[in-house]
Amino acid sequence: MGAERASAQGLSADTPDGFGVAVVREEGQWRCSAMAPKSLLSL
């Protein structure tokens, strides 16, 4: 089923399920942003 879902989203079947979040603290404030699904390949 994972491969079917990946194909439906235009991602390769080798892309793992999950998500990435970038968190940065600048000038005393935290900022969070979602990373692209393909970024999981380089973790």
The β-bridge partners of 29 are 26
- pTM to 2 decimal places: 0.52
Contact between residue 6 and residue 12 where contact means Cβ atoms under 8 Å apart: yes
28 CA to centre of own chain: 26
pLDDT tens digits for range 21-43: 999 999 999 999 999 988 888 87
Query: CB under 8 Å to 16, separation ≥6 — which residues?
Result: 40, 41
The answer to whether residue 4 scores a pLDDT higher than 90 is no
Q: Where are the domains of the chain?
A: 2-42
> Stretch 1-20: mean pLDDT, rounded?
64
Q: Mean of the per-residue pLDDT values for the chain?
A: 79
Q: Which amino acid is at 31?
A: R
